[in-house]
Chain A
């Protein structure tokens, strides 16, 4: 009896404590709300349903080929793609050009790579091979800086993984990222096609206004305006189309194994699910005769 009374009393005390804590928590949340909204000013990227999203997503080969075209014709003027080798363009899960096509591209693009020094101690170059990394536009950071108003155009091999598209408050952000992914491709697509006049006609020396860029001002001038390339498959090269294609291509560049990962993942998940089910039946059969 005495124990029961005590339990009741304890429960009452705890209820009061819990209520007070809850009230304090709510007050704190209201108080803290403005702090959560702060951070680098920028727009969320525009959501877009890329073909490679979702557990069964795959790259659209034609889109990757168009994206490569945009990279080669436009981006490669300032940005390197150093982790991609020419042979990667022929491999499964990518644009899957034929080897001959890529060899022709190397010839047409006159890609040369450093090949040490000759007998006179002078640097020599040779034409690139399939096994070579795609040569970048600059030899050094200094050269890149000199050509770009002191800004270094970043390498694009990992850019889609190194950026995020969404900037939501902490209490929804983890869930949005889980459902929509990190949004790197959406960010690239929005950024590339998102340059506009700054509000109030503001201008900054050597900087360009882009609402999607964290802080809004970027050293990169608008790289595309539509009709910048000619697509071999007849797709109309609008600004949005080009931006979408380059975002898809750069996603492949940062995740060349995405299709393999999802394919193997499906098999692994099925295996583990069946294994778990079997183990559950084993466990149940074993324990059914035992009180626990």
Chain B
């Protein structure tokens, strides 16, 4: 997967520029000629979808900031000002709020696609690990963004999550005060969250650049989970995958637009239309839906510090995934046992999501505990054990053999 294209530009001005700064041959090599496995299915379109969502969030966010006021006494009013007085303000706000939700829809599909087809396996460990960092940065960005409208759930969500750090012995209390910029969630907290919420997306964009760079070094994984061996195995990125991705992006946007225009706060919480009130705690404090599985893990553990560590470990463990799974075949297509455990993991994560939305008591607590345990068992026990006991189906010799049949390969 060489960096630069051997393409010779005919236009003398273009050639003059490219000889001095090979930006055009870079684009040509990476976005046009880039050899891509010919057998990628629609699950591979979510990378492009995610890039689209990031751009939508950046653009709507930049304009929203032109009208938003990051102050505890004015933030809520300024959001209503955007909704009522700013031209197309309602559209920007709902695109941004639902855009975050759909960003997570896409990222979860993208991650589970990687898990199913073994995209984290060698030689893509760095690509995968940058992806995990992106996921964590996304969660931080989304959490701080949700605080900005300064509604009841914004405020109490911030209180609950920042308080997690108080679980650490001795230093916990000081960390929390430092995070808040005071002795309670207040104006300094809101202002630093605003600052970071504006900064982090650009960090995200830089991380995405690294992610794509790493991808273009190793090339795509594919549903067969075997590496590209010859030119027969690939197609140029453009027009094949640019057009396929674009089709998938438009379909994704169609579903997203359905929520933006017809159920704009379906994915949110109605309590957030009430102004933050430190004196009145909502009956149930629930984070946004995309945090619920992690929230369930946090509350599943009776000890606060242990709960916090378990929750963070559930993310950290993903960094070690390339070394926990040592099976001979990468793709679940050729792993009859792993395939079943994969779907079990999907069910377990969805169950955690449902449990996270319920009060942490009685049988829901038990469900959350079992599911949390299974999440870790899956990565720490099942994957390493499967690596040894599972007998994979016979792998095809090459992608082209799998696609075109043996005789033509």
Tell me the A residues contacting B by CB distance below 8 Å. 3, 6-7, 10-11, 13-14, 17-18, 21, 28, 31-32, 34-36, 38-40, 55, 83, 88, 154, 157-158, 161-164, 170, 177-178, 181-182, 184, 254, 256-257, 260-262, 264-266, 268-269, 272-273, 275-276, 279-280, 282-283, 286-287, 290-292
Contact = CB atoms under 8 A, between A and B. Distances in A.
Contact of B250 (A7, A83, A182, A272): A272
Contact of B361 (A35, A280, A282, A292): A35
Interface in B271-316: 271, 273-274, 283
A32 B364 contact: yes
Interface in B214-251: 235, 239-240, 243-244, 246-247, 250-251
B38 A292 contact: yes
Q: Which 8 A-B pairs have the closest CB atoms?
A: A265-B261, A32-B363, A279-B247, A162-B273, A6-B391, A161-B273, A276-B250, A35-B362
A257 B90 contact: yes
Contacts of A254: 273
A290 B261 contact: no
Contacts, number: 130
A32 B362 contact: yes
Interface residues of B, number: 55
Interface string B346-383: 00000000100111011110110000000000000000
B336 A10 contact: yes
Contacts of B387: none
Given A257-B84, A279-B250, A158 B273 contact: yes
Nearest to A57: B262
Contacts of B358: 35-36, 170
B148 interface: no
B270 A276 contact: no
Given A28-B366, A178-B263, A269 B258 contact: yes
A3 B257 contact: no
Contacts of A34: 362
16 contacts: A3-B394, A38-B359, A158-B274, A161-B265, A164-B270, A177-B266, A181-B263, A262-B261, A268-B257, A279-B246, A279-B247, A282-B243, A282-B247, A283-B244, A286-B239, A290-B235
Contacts of A178: 263, 266
Given A21-B344, A269-B261, A279-B250, A162 B274 contact: yes
Contacts of A154: 274
B330 to A, nearest CB: 17
B337 interface: yes
Contacts of B250: 272, 275-276, 279
A7 B80 CA distance: 60
B122 interface: no
Given A3-B391, A276-B254, 8 more contacts: A88-B84, A161-B270, A163-B270, A265-B260, A265-B261, A268-B257, A272-B253, A292-B38
